Amino acid sequence: MTKAERAAYVSRRLAELYPETPIPLDHRDDFTLLIAVLLSAQCTDERVNLITPALFARADTPEAMAKVPVEAIQEIIRPCGLSPQKAKAISGLSKILVAQHGGEVPQTFAELEALPGVGHKTASVVMSQAFGFPAFPVDTHIHRLAQRWKLTTGKNVAQTERDLKHAFPESEWNRLHLRIIFYGREHCSARGCDGTVCEICRTLFPDRRRQVKTKKA
């Protein structure tokens, strides 16, 4: 298969497997989504979903969160890991949203990435899932699978993002990035598949015998 043929098969098969693409992080609005995505850095979505109810019960708007002491935020989110940095970022960005954005989450990459603790991947998730802006957030699952499926050379997540945007129509990006995540977790995980085991890997590369060593992001 050519790269274009592989991309077309991946898109078609994932749409069959995952016709619905619910956002895996529980949230109420764009602000709570932003906080949940920030918390998900180096933490599973499942754990984040266990933590956020208590956090959002304490404060679920920028105005309310800005008034919560950093130490109180940190205590609630401690199980997510990196709690000192994340708590400081949550407090800081909440205050900035109130002071500079009228308590609203901004709808541009530049403004989002200017917020404490918000990198390009977090901004991409918010832009795509909260505001419907075409984006292709790349997490560890997507980075790994894109390499196994030879849709990127995978030197870093920035290159993987560029390659995937080139491989798939813009209209598919928002749903496809979630579908790849779902598939990676269920069928093509770091331990469950090495590039030769799961259905899509075997279909794309039936003659592959050696495992694919993922280049770290």
Find the farthest-apart pair of alpha carbons in the chain and give their distance in angstroms, rounded. Answer: 59
In this structure, which amino acid lies at residue 118?
A: V
> Around 64, how many Cα atoms within 13 Å sit in the side-chain half-sphere?
9
DSSP helix/strand/coil, 77: helix
Structure token digits, residue 204: 């794309």
* Contact status, residue 212 vs residue 147, Cβ threshold 8 Å: yes
Interior CA angle at 77 toward 122 and 108, to 5°? 20
Residue identified by tokens 């694919």 is 212
The residues annotated as belonging to the active site are: 121, 139
Judging by beta carbons within 10 Å of its beta carbon (0-12, 13-18, 19+), is residue 216 exposed, middle or buried?
exposed
